[in-house]
Structure 1
Amino acid sequence: MEMKQGIFYGVGVGPGDPELLTVKALRIMGECPVLACPQTKSGEMLALDIVRQAMDVSDKTILPLHFTMSRDAAVQRAAHEKAADEVCRYLAQGQDVAMPNLGDVSIYSTYCYLMELVRERGFQTQMVAGVPSFCAIAARLGVSLTEMKSPLHIAPGSSDLEEVLHWPGNKILMKSGSQMPEVLKAIAEHASLEKSAMIQNCGLPDERVFENLAEKQPEDSTGYFATVIVKE
C-alpha cells in the first residue's frame, strides 16, 4: 500500500498579538506534527514565538527554515529550494507540515515561494488565512482603510513611491523600515505627512505608534516590520 503523503500548510498567524490567531489556524497547527518556522541568523523564530503564546507546541517537531535577505535571485532561489527539500522530507513520510507566517499567508509571504516548489515535487498544499498587518494597524489607529468607491493600494516601501503616492485612494506601504528616510521624504513631497501614520511591530511587545507623521517621526531605525498608512 502506498504511504499517504503529508500536506504543506501555510498558516497566517497575524502581525504579533496572539489573540489575533484564528480558530482555524490553531486547529491546523494543532493537527500538524511538524512546524516549519523561518529562523533568523540570530536564532529568532518570531512567528513561532507568537504561536507559542496561544498553544502548546512541546509535542511538535520544529523545523527551522533559513532564508536570505540577499536580492540576488539565484541566491534566493537556492535558499527556497533547500527549504522546500527539508519540508518535503517530512511530507514524503506522511507527516503534515504547517509553516506559520506573520500576517496573512497570501501577502508578501515566503510560504508562497515554497508552496510552488513543494507543488512541483508532487505534494499537496493549503493556505490558511490570517489577519494582515495593515488591517491590525488600521484597527489600532481607529481609522478606515477604504471609503465608498475609493480604492486601496498595497505596495512595498521600496517601490517607486512618486508613482504609488499619486494613485487614487489610500495607500499601504509595507516593509518600509530600511527605506524609512526615503519613504518620509516621498510622502512629504507627493502626499501628506499629516494624513499619514505608521506602526512598527504592531501587536508585539516593542510596538511603536506614530499617529501623525507630520507631528512625530521615528528618530532611529524602524526595523523591518514597519507599515505606513497614507490617507488620500
Structure 2
Amino acid sequence: MARLTILGVGPGDPDLITVAGLKALRQARTVAYPVAEPGGEGMAARIAAPWLQPEQQRLPLHFPMTTAAAPCRLAWRCAARQLLQAVAERPPVAMLCEGDVSLYASASYVALQLQTMAPSPLRVSMIPGVTAMAATAAAAHWPLALQSQQLLVAPAPETPTALDALLAKAEVLAVHKVGRRWPWLREALQQRGLLPQALVAERVGWPDQRLIPAAELPPGACSYFSLVLVRQAWPPVLPWDAGDAVAAV
C-alpha cells in the first residue's frame, strides 16, 4: 500500500465504496477526512463509518465552505502539512473523499498541493469513487449517455443565459450543486420544453435520498447536495420507436 492513499468513498451508501478503496481503508493506521467546521464529523467519515476500526487514528482536515482564494489556499496547505506529518509518524494514511477523488473534490487540490510540498520519495495513490451522477443514473435506470451522445458535467449555472450555453454543448447535461438555484432553473427548463426530460436527485445514497422527475418537484429550494440530469435528445437507434422515447424518461 502507498504511504498515502486518497480514496473516493462514493456519494453516501457505504456499500458503494470500491473493493480497492475498502482494502486501502482497512490497511490504514491513520484516516484523514474533510470537515466543514472544526470539530465537525464530515460526510466522507460518515459514509466510511461502518468500515473504520477503533485502533485507527482519526485526522479531521478543515476545509471552509468558501470559494475565496486566500482561505482555500491556506486550508490546502494546512491539510497537506497535516498529511505529511501523519505519513511520517503513523503510516499508512488514507484520506477519504466523498464521491470521486477528481470530480469537484477538495482532495484534488490537496493532491496538487502535495506535489509542491512532499518529499520526492512520498508515494501517493488515488483510488476513484462512485460519483453522485453515476449513482443517480443507476438508481433511476436513467442512462447517462448512449452511443455517441455527448455528456456535459457542470456546476449549476447562475443565469438562464449560462444554462443555454451549457445546453448548446451537449445532448445530456448533469448539473451539480443545484440547491437555491432550483426555482429559476426549473422555470428555465420548463420554458425550453426540457422539464419532462429532466430528473432531480437529492442526497443520493443517504437514507433520505430522493429521486424525482423534475416536473413533479415544486420550485422551492433543493438540498445543497442535489443534481439535475437533463436529456435533450435520444439517439436514433433504441429498443423502441424514437417517438416513444420521451415517455420512457
CA distance in 1, matches of 2:3, 2:29: 11
Instruction: Find 2:172's aligned residue among 162, 170, 173.
Output: 170
| Percent of aligned pairs with the same amino acid | 29
Matched-pair contact (CA < 8 Å) for 1:14–1:103: yes
So what's the TM-score if we normalise by structure 1?
0.89
CA distance in 1, matches of 2:196, 2:186: 11
Task: Name the CA distance, whole Å, in 2 between partners of 1:96 and 1:162.
Answer: 47
Question: What stretches of structure 1 of length at least 5 have no aligned partner?
Answer: 1-5
Question: Measured at CA, do residues 191 and 9 of structure 1 come closer, stay the same or move farther in structure 2, by a change above 3 Å?
Answer: farther
Partner of 1:44: 41
Task: Name 2:102's counterpart in structure 1.
Answer: 106
Matches within 5 A, 1:42-81: 43-53=40-50, 55-81=51-77
Q: Does 2:124 match 1:125?
A: yes
1:224 matched to 2:224? The reply is: yes
Question: Shift in Å at residue 87 of structure 1?
Answer: 1.1
**RMSD of aligned alpha carbons:** 1.8
> Which amino acid is 1:29 matched to?
L
Q: Which structure has the bigger radius of gyration?
A: 2
Letter in 2 for 1:10: I
Partners of 2:182 and 2:220 within 8 A in 1: no
Distance in 2, matches of 1:149 and 1:224, equals: 31
Deviates more, 1:146-155 or 1:67-76: 67-76
Q: Give the gaps of 5 or more residues in structure 2.
A: 233-249
- Give the CA deviation at 1:118: 1.4
CA distance in 2, matches of 1:92, 1:103: 27
Q: Which has the higher helix share?
A: 2
TM-score (norm 2): 0.83
The aligned length equals 224
Residue 75 of structure 1, CA deviation: 1.7
CA deviations on 1:179-229 (whole Å, 9 max, x unpaired) are: 22233233233450110001100110121221x212x11564322210110
